[in-house]
Amino acid sequence: MVEDVRAIALLSGGLDSALAAALTLRLGFGVVGVNLATGFCTGQGRCDTVLATGQALGIPIRLLDVSREYLDVVRHPRHGYGSRMNPCIDCRIFMVRKAGEVMAAEGAAFVVTGEVLGQRPMSQHRRALDLVAAESGLGERLVRPLSGRLLGPTLPERMGWVRREDWLDIQGRSRRRQLALAREWGITQFVQPSGGCCLLLEKVYAARVKDAFRTRGPELTADEFALLRHGRHFRLSPAVKVVVGRDEMDNEILSKFAAGRWMLSLPDVPGPVAVVEGAPTEEELVLAAQLAARYSDARPGEPVRVTLVRDRETRTLSVIPLAKDDPRIASWMLGE
């Protein structure tokens, strides 16, 4: 009986994956939703949206943190990067493979995704979809219900659980049909796709990752990846980078990256926290202090105290803030 067959639905918080799960339910299958946190997702409330989707559809949701495993995908993508530092095909293979592990653990029969043929140029053309199915190890157990009529037969068809016409034939980048289905099926909570959903696609963040790979090599730590999200990043030399906080939240976050790094602050005027990565020379430490002072409320052209702390070592420098129009600042800044 179809109602005894379960599927694992990969849910991103977006509309397509919610529709794929809803269609699978409407065909009579049991569905378990899975959301994978890679550490590179953007958009506020994605987990909340996935949980709301689960509640609306009446399905259980598994939230899995795969961020440490996913770092290897970013470091060493077998199929290369996309337009920036996005390993789209390797990402899909990784996610589908993880969903396959949940499928085995849950005793489910197949995995469902919201992929649409031709929607994304890097990862959703026919050859890429076939590649993901093969290299994830799922093969015919990977089902894309929104484009199922346009793709090859899968396990549910071969077993007679569905007919080919039960799937949809959506393709291309337009979301008109998806939005119409959402209205028809009462799906109201989903993250809008505008602007992308991956940090690795964002110009500034991608530039920082590329710089880090160039200067540190691909073996970046999870801590170093996390720091790339915050503040303004300035490359002073191949061995030294300065990260300057933008606001109070940034300052609080940057202070948590103090271990083993120089941490700069201005005790006498409101200003940023700054972190120095690498092994700076004395001249570079002074430059870092001047750079931090440039973003403070210090008076232009007048000396200001900057406190430098690294582990148990503390120093104080008196520096003149860099001028706002100092051309070196733009040349140091990464991606902005």
In this prediction, residue 226 carries a pLDDT of 87
What's the CA gap between 255 and 6, in Å, rounded? 46
Segment 252-269 shows an average pLDDT of: 95
Relative to beta strand 6-10, strand 30-37 is parallel
- What was the pLDDT predicted at 121? 76
Going 91 to 93 to 97 to 100, the CA torsion angle's sign is positive
Render pLDDT for 49-59 as a digit per residue (tens, 0 to 9).
Answer: 888 889 999 99
Band (pLDDT 50/70/90 cuts) for residue 43 is low
HEC sequence for 108-175: CCEEECCCCECCCCCCCCHHHHHHHHHHCCCHHHEECHHHHHHCCCCHHHHCCCCCHHHCCCCECCCC
- Phi and psi at 213, nearest 5°, equal -65, -40
pLDDT at 145 > cutoff 90: yes
What number of other Cβ atoms are within 10 A of residue 219's Cβ? 10
Per-residue model confidence as pLDDT tens digits over 63-115: 999 988 999 999 899 999 887 888 989 999 999 999 999 999 999 999 999 99
2-198: CATH architecture: 3-Layer(aba) Sandwich (3.40)
Per-residue pLDDT averaged across 230-234, rounded?
Answer: 96
Supply the pLDDT for residue 195: 44
Mean pLDDT (the chain, rounded)? 92
- pTM for the predicted model, two decimal places: 0.84
The model's confidence at residue 188, banded by pLDDT at 50, 70 and 90, is confident
Q: Residue 140 pLDDT > 50, yes or no?
A: yes
Q: Would you state the pLDDT for residue 48?
A: 74
Q: Is the pLDDT of residue 245 over 90?
A: yes
Confidence at 1, pLDDT banded by 50, 70, 90: low
Domain segments of the chain: what residues?
2-198, 202-332
Looking at per-residue confidence, does 43 or 143 come out higher? 143
Instruction: Give the model confidence (pLDDT) of 266-304 as tens digits.
Output: 999 999 999 999 999 999 999 999 999 999 999 999 999
Average pLDDT of the residues in 222-243: 93
The confidence score (pLDDT) of residue 46 equals 65
Mean pLDDT of the 248-262 span: 94
Q: What is the mean pLDDT of residues 301-328?
A: 96
CA neighbor of 46 nearest in space, from 11, 13, 9, 19: 13
pLDDT confidence bin for 13, thresholds 50/70/90: confident
User: What value does the CA radius of gyration of the chain take, rounded to a whole number of Å?
Assistant: 24
Kindly write down the DSSP assignment for every residue of 180-245, as one continuous string. Answer: HHHHHHT----B--TT-SBGGGSHHHHHHHHHHHHHH-S---HHHHHHTTSSEEEEEETTEEEEE-
Worst-scoring range by mean pLDDT, 37-41, 163-167, 183-187, 331-335?
Answer: 37-41
From 267, 236, 263, 241, select the one nearest 252 (Cα to Cα).
263
